Amino acid sequence: MDEIIKELQALNIGIVKQNEPLSQYTTMKIGGPADLFIEPSSVESLQKVMGIIKAHNINWRAIGRGSNLLVSDKGIEGVVIRLGADLAEVEINGDKVKVGGGYSLVSLATMISKKGLSGLEFASGIPGSVGGAVYMNAGAHGSDISKILTKAHILFEDGMMEWLSNEEMEFSYRTSILQKKRPGIVVEAVFKLAHGDRTEIVKTMQKNKDYRKETQPWNFPCAGSIFRNPLPSFAGRLIEEAGLKGFSIGGAKISEMHGNFIVNAGNATAQDVLDVIQHVKDTIFDLYQIKMETEVEIIGRK
C-alpha cells in the first residue's frame, strides 16, 4: 500500500488518506476504516486513480454522501473513492441540466426549483449525491431518477469513460446496470426537465420536505430506507404491523416514526444494525411468509 500511496502523491490527484474512519462520511455515522481513502480533485485525477487501481489489481468502491450505506465495523479493504466538491459542477442550458456526480441531490433540486424547472421535486429530501442517486435510481413520491435522466457519463473500472443513455443504464426499482453488470462511477449526469410555474414547483418541493420531516427520523443518524418495498406490500407498514417499531439492539433502533428506518440512537455499531435487520427479516417471514430484501447497501469486511 505504501508504494501505491507514493504513486498517488506523486501525481497530486487530491486528498489521499490511509486507514481513514468512514463513520464521518456516512449519514448513519457508522463504519470502520478504509485501507486507502481518496477524494480526487478532478475528473482527470479520478481517471489516474482508476489507472493505478487497475495496475495494482486493488479492490475499490466509490461513495458519494454516504446516505444509503452501512459500512462494516471492520472497514473496507482496498480503496474508497469519494466524489466531493471538486466533481460537483452544474451547467444549465434551457430545460437540460448537466451536473457532476459529487453534487448534492437536495441542493440541485432546490436550485432548479427556484429557476422554474420541474422534474426533481421528488428529490427534495433525499440526502445523497447525484452520482449515488443515478447509481441506485433513487426515488420518492412516485418518481425516480429514471424518469428524468437523459444520459450519464461513467468511468468504468477498466479506465474507459463512456456516456450511457437512459436505456443503457437499465434502470429498475432502486437499481441500475452499475450494480448489476458493469461497476462504474457516475462522473456526470444530464437531466431533461420541464419548464413550469416556479411558485407551484417550490410549493411541491416544500410539501415533500415537510412530509419527510413529519414522517421520517432525519434528526437521528440514519441511512434512509433499510428495506425494499415487497410490492404490493410496503416495508414500513409490515414492520409496524408486526409491532417492531422501537425494537433495538445495542445502539441501533427501529424508528418510532417510520418502521423502515433504523436509527443510530447512540454509538451503534454496524453489527447492531445487522442484528436488527436480521430480526426484522425473521419476524416478517414468520408472520407473513414475505422475504425482506435490503435497499441499503451493506459493504466492507465481514
Give the integer Cα–Cα distance in Å for 132 and 129: 5
Is 295 an active-site residue?
Answer: yes
How many CB atoms neighbour CB 29 within 10 A?
17
Residue 220 CA to chain centroid, in angstroms?
17
Q: Which residue carries 502523491 as its cell? A: 9
Report residue 224 as a C-alpha cell.
434512509
* Backbone phi, psi, residue 134, to 5°: -70, -45
CA 108/CA 105 separation, integer angstroms = 5
Q: Which of 67, 176, 225, 255 is catalytic?
A: 225
Quickly list H helices, 160-197. Answer: 177-180
In the chain, count H helices and then E strands.
Answer: 8, 18
How many residues in total does the chain contain?
302
Query: Which of 129, 174, 188, 212 is labelled catalytic?
Result: 174
Q: Cα–Cα distance between 244 and 283 in angstroms, integer?
A: 9
Q: Which of 20, 39, 121, 295 is catalytic?
A: 295
Catalytic residue flag (residue 91): no
Check if the beta carbon of residue 128 is closer than 8 Å to that of residue 208: no
174 is catalytic: yes
Q: What is the spatial distance between Cα 21 and Cα 80, in angstroms, rounded to a whole number?
A: 11
Residue with cell 473496507: 76
Question: How many CB atoms neighbour CB 24 within 10 A?
Answer: 9
Q: Which of the residues are catalytic?
A: 174, 225, 295
